[in-house]
């Protein structure tokens, strides 16, 4: 029993880290622009396709040498993060920016539209005639992401709890990235500008902050986080699919709302909480009920704490 609990804790923690990374992208954009960037999950998905393509092009698999693997992984992470960041930034520039002053519905609906376009792109990408995409015959099928890290149990073969190198990688890398983000937001000039803009965009503008630049930076960082998350997600789950952005994006957004949307520590807390709940409900209730359990919890939390766990109740100015 204890082993099961420990194992699920570990699974929950790793899943939660991925959720948290994606949730950060949602929450940062929401904090500043007050709109749900529906396309964020699909940026995450396409970034995973970038690293899958790279892995295929480099011919990496579980037989590759350690040096090649390390180099390939770093390349994947960099490429996916850059791709995610730039894609997110481009979407903002092309689609959302002209709608800044439109009614709130307009950017939201546009974001849903972009999300569909990106999903369709993912579907076509899956039809690429590369070996790693299964030759292109089955575009809609899930693609296998090769298991690049050794599947040894770090706690020894006899232990009932499995801790693999990829678990360590996910948790470690996520912690590093989150601390870096915290540092940026808390201590750099850009971070201060971001926090100021989130609090009151017009006041920030009066204070001489270039709000457009802050928004761009937010989309760039959020997209890069999503791209980074996509690599560690692919390494961990070993499957890439054109609809994974929707599913994980939904969970990640739920995590952001649970933690208190617009609140950066809240997103991390919400992600971890959701990851843990998911792991335990998979174990004790049944994986097929996963979405039902997660959204049930969302509703309960919103009823008792409408602003999320760490969010503060901001009232409309009169």
Partner 1 sequence: MAALLKKFGGLPVLALVVLAIYPFAPVVDWALEAATGQALHIDRQLVNIFIFSILALALNLQVGQAGLLQLGIAAFFAVGAFTTGVLTVEKYPFQIGFWGAILISPLAGAIGGFLLGAPTLRLRGDYLAIVTLGFGEVMRIVLLNLENITDGPRGLNPVPAPWLPTLVRDAMSPAGDASIGTLRAMYFLALIVLAATVVCLKLLERSRIGRAFVALREDELAASCMGIEPARIKLAAFTGGAALAALAGCFYATNLTTTAEPNTYDFNYSIMVLCCLIIGGLGSIRGALLGAALLLGFDNVISPLLTRLLQTALGGESTHVMASFSNWRWIVFGTALVVMMRLRPEGLWPSSPQAEELHESAGEA
Partner 2 sequence: MAAPLLNVDKLTLRFGGLTAVSEVDLRVEEGEIAAVIGPNGAGKTSLFNAITGIYEPTSGEVQLDGHDLREPMRPGLLLRWVLTGLGVGLIGLLTASNVDSLWAASIKSQDPNAFSVARALHDGAGFMAAQPRVDLRMGKLFVTSFDGQTTFAVVKTPELAAAALNDAEKRLANPQTDDDKATAARTSAALRVRFGAFLAGLLLGFLAARAVWQRTRRTPTSVALRGVARTFQNIRLFHNMTVIENVLVASDRHLRAQAKLSDPGRLTAILAPTALLGLTAILAIVVRKAALDAAEALPIGILASLLLGLLAWLIIVKRRGAFSGASLNQERAARAEAIELLKFVGLEHRIRDLARNLPYGEQRRLEIARALATRPRLLLLDEPAAGMNPSETVSLMHLIRAIRDRGMTVLLIEHHMRVVMGISDRITVLVHGKRIAEGTPDEIRQNPAVIEAYLGADGEH
What is the binding site for partner 2 (CB under 8 A)? Answer: 300, 303-304, 306, 312, 315-316, 318
Here the tokens at position 207 are: 């204070």
Q: Smallest distance, Å, CB 243 to partner 1?
A: 10
Q: Is 120 helix (H, G, I), strand (E, B) or coil?
A: helix
* Residue 246 interacts with partner 1 (CB under 8 A): yes or no: yes
- DSSP assignment of 152-185: --TT-TT-SS---HHHHHHHHHHHHHHHHHHHHH
Interface with partner 1 in residues 96-155 (CB under 8 A): 98-110, 112-117, 119-121, 123-124, 126-127, 136-137, 139-140
Please state, in angstroms and rounded to a whole number, the distance separating the CA atoms of residues 132 and 130: 5
Q: Which of 172/306 has CB closer to partner 2?
A: 306
* Residue 292 interacts with partner 1 (CB under 8 A): yes or no: yes
Q: Which of 78/139 has CB closer to partner 1?
A: 139
Among residues 3, 34, 200, 210, which is the contact residue for partner 1, using CB under 8 A? 34
Among partner 2, partner 1, none, what binds residue 304 when CB lies within 5 to 8 Å by partner kind? partner 2
Here the tokens at position 203 are: 């006041």
Interface with partner 1 in residues 57-76 (CB under 8 A): none
* Residue 90 interacts with partner 1 (CB under 8 A): yes or no: no
Here the tokens at position 247 are: 């599913």
Q: Smallest distance, Å, CB 303 to partner 2?
A: 5
Q: How far is CA 19 from each of CA 41, 120, 157, 265, rounded to the nearest angstrom?
A: 11, 23, 29, 13
Please state, in angstroms and rounded to a whole number, the distance separating the CA atoms of residues 221 and 209: 18
Cβ atoms 96, 32 nearer than 8 A? no
Q: Smallest distance, Å, CB 124 to partner 1?
A: 6
Q: Which of 171/297 has CB closer to partner 2?
A: 297
Please state, in angstroms and rounded to a whole number, the distance separating the CA atoms of residues 137 and 315: 54
Among partner 2, partner 1, none, what binds residue 257 when CB lies within 5 to 8 Å by partner kind? partner 1
Among partner 2, partner 1, none, what binds residue 119 when CB lies within 5 to 8 Å by partner kind? partner 1
If one counts every other C-beta atom within 10 angstroms of the C-beta of residue 105, the result is 10
Angle between helices 2-33 and 264-284 (to 10 degrees): 140
Here the tokens at position 66 are: 């350690």
Q: Smallest distance, Å, CB 302 to partner 2?
A: 10
Please state, in angstroms and rounded to a whole number, the distance separating the CA atoms of residues 290 and 98: 38
If one counts every other C-beta atom within 10 angstroms of the C-beta of residue 73, the result is 21
* Residue 189 interacts with partner 1 (CB under 8 A): yes or no: no
Maximal C-alpha separation, the chain:
65
Q: Smallest distance, Å, CB 12 to partner 2?
A: 22
Contacts with partner 1, 190-229, as mask; x by CB under 8 A: ----------------------------------------
Q: Smallest distance, Å, CB 50 to partner 1?
A: 19
Please state, in angstroms and rounded to a whole number, the distance separating the CA atoms of residues 291 and 77: 29
Give the interface with partner 1 as residue ranges (CB under 8 A).
30, 34-36, 95, 98-110, 112-117, 119-121, 123-124, 126-127, 136-137, 139-140, 246, 250, 253-254, 257, 261, 288-292, 294-296, 298-299, 302-303, 306, 316, 318
């Amino acid at each position: 029993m204890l082993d099961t609990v420990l194992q699920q804790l570990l699974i929950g923690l790793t899943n939660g880290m991925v959720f948290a990374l994606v949730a950060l992208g949602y929450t940062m954009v929401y904090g500043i622009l007050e709109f749900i960037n529906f396309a964020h999950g699909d940026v995450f998905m396409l970034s995973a396709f970038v690293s899958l393509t790279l892995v295929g092009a480099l011919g990496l698999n579980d037989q590759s040498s350690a040096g090649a693997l390390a180099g390939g992984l770093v390349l994947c992470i960099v490429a996916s993060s850059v791709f995610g960041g730039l894609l997110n930034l481009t979407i903002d520039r092309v689609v959302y920016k002209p709608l800044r002053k439109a009614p709130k519905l307009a950017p939201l609906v546009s974001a849903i539209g972009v999300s569909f376009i990106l999903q369709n792109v993912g579907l076509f990408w899956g039809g690429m005639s590369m070996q790693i995409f299964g030759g292109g015959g089955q575009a809609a099928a899930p693609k296998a992401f090769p298991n690049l890290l050794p599947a040894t149990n770090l706690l020894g073969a006899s232990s009932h709890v499995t801790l693999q190198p990829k678990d360590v990688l996910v948790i470690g890398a996520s912690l590093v990235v989150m601390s870096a983000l915290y540092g940026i937001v808390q201590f750099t000039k850009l971070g201060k500008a971001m926090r100021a803009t989130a609090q009151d965009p017009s006041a920030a503008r009066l204070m001489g902050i270039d709000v457009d630049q802050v928004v761009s930076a937010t989309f760039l960082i959020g997209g890069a986080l999503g791209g980074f998350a996509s690599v560690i997600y692919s390494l961990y789950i070993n499957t890439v699919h054109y609809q994974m952005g929707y599913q994980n994006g939904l969970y990640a957004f739920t995590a952001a709302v649970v933690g208190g949307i617009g609140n950066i520590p809240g997103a991390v807390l919400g992600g971890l909480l959701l990851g843990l709940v998911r792991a335990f409900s998979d174990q004790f209730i049944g994986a097929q009920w996963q979405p039902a359990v997660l959204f049930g919890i969302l509703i309960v939390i919103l009823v008792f704490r409408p602003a999320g766990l760490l969010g503060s109740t901001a009232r409309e100015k009169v």
